[in-house]
Every structure is written in C-alpha cells, then in structure tokens.
C-alpha cells in the first residue's frame, strides 16, 4: 500500500504568516493517464473533511487563492499564504492513484 508521510505533525503560526506542509509518497502518484491524484483536505473540529486541492494543484470550488498546491511524483506541498483564523484545523493529504487509497497522518495547524 502507498504510505503518505506528512511533515510537520503540527505547525504553530501567527495570523498572516505563511504555512507549508509536506506530503511524501512511498511511490510515484502519477497515474497511467498522466494525471496525479493527490488531494488535500482540511478538517475543522466536529466537522467532515473539506476538499481544498485536487490533482496536486487545482483549487476546489470556493477555496481561496491563498491555498497553493504543488509537487510531482512523490513530493508534494501545500502552502497557505497569509493564514487566517478559518484556516486552523488538521490538514490531510490523500492519494487516489493506487488501490487501496490512503491518507497521510495529518498536520495540525494552530495558533502560536
């Protein structure tokens, strides 16, 4: 199974700072169709996860442009420029390239 390793486990930021989360895969996430099915989710306390980014760098409907996904192959990054209060929670990367699908362990974004 594909293992997704997220770092850091937690990240303390000041509002307005930039935050960066890494997701490394145990194997390439490029599918045979040329697409890379790596997604990013944010889960706030007591809520279902919400999709932020799909196919590495595409923002889901309504997601602000301060969320930027990048990467290829096995290394991926989610950057949040100018962190706002509503950005706090746990971020997960998720791969839908290889069966079975898998999530990273999560990165908790909190206030310093």
Partner 1 sequence: QVQLKESGPGLVQPSQTLSLTCTVSGFSLTSNSVHWVRQPPGKGLEWVGAIWSGGSTDYNSALKSRLSISRDTSKSQVFLKMNSLQTEDTAIYFCTQITTGYWGQGVMVTVSS
Query: Counting contacts by CB under 8 A, is residue 13 touching partner 1?
Result: no
Handedness of CA 100, 105, 111, 112 (dihedral sign): negative
For 39, which DSSP code? Answer: E
55 vs 84, which CB is nearer to partner 1?
Answer: 55
Judge whether 78 and 94 are in contact, CB under 8 Å.
no
Query: Counting contacts by CB under 8 A, is residue 106 touching partner 1?
Result: yes
Query: Counting contacts by CB under 8 A, is residue 102 touching partner 1?
Result: yes
For 33, which DSSP code? Answer: T
Query: Counting contacts by CB under 8 A, is residue 54 touching partner 1?
Result: yes
- Residue 80 has φ and ψ, to the nearest 5°, of -120, 110
Q: Which residues bind partner 1 (CB under 8 A)?
A: 1, 37, 39, 41, 43, 48-51, 54, 60-61, 90, 92, 94, 96, 99-106
């Amino acid at each position: 199974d594909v293992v997704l390793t997220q770092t850091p486990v937690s990240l303390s930021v000041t509002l307005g700072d930039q935050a960066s989360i890494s997701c490394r895969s145990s194997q390439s996430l490029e599918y045979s169709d040329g697409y890379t099915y790596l997604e990013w989710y944010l889960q706030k306390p007591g809520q279902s996860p919400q999709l932020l980014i799909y196919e590495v760098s595409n923002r889901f409907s309504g997601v602000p442009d301060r969320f930027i996904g990048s990467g290829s192959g096995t290394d991926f990054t989610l950057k949040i420029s100018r962190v706002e209060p509503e950005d706090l929670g746990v971020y997960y990367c998720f791969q839908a390239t290889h069966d079975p699908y898998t999530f990273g362990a999560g990165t908790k974004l909190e206030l310093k």
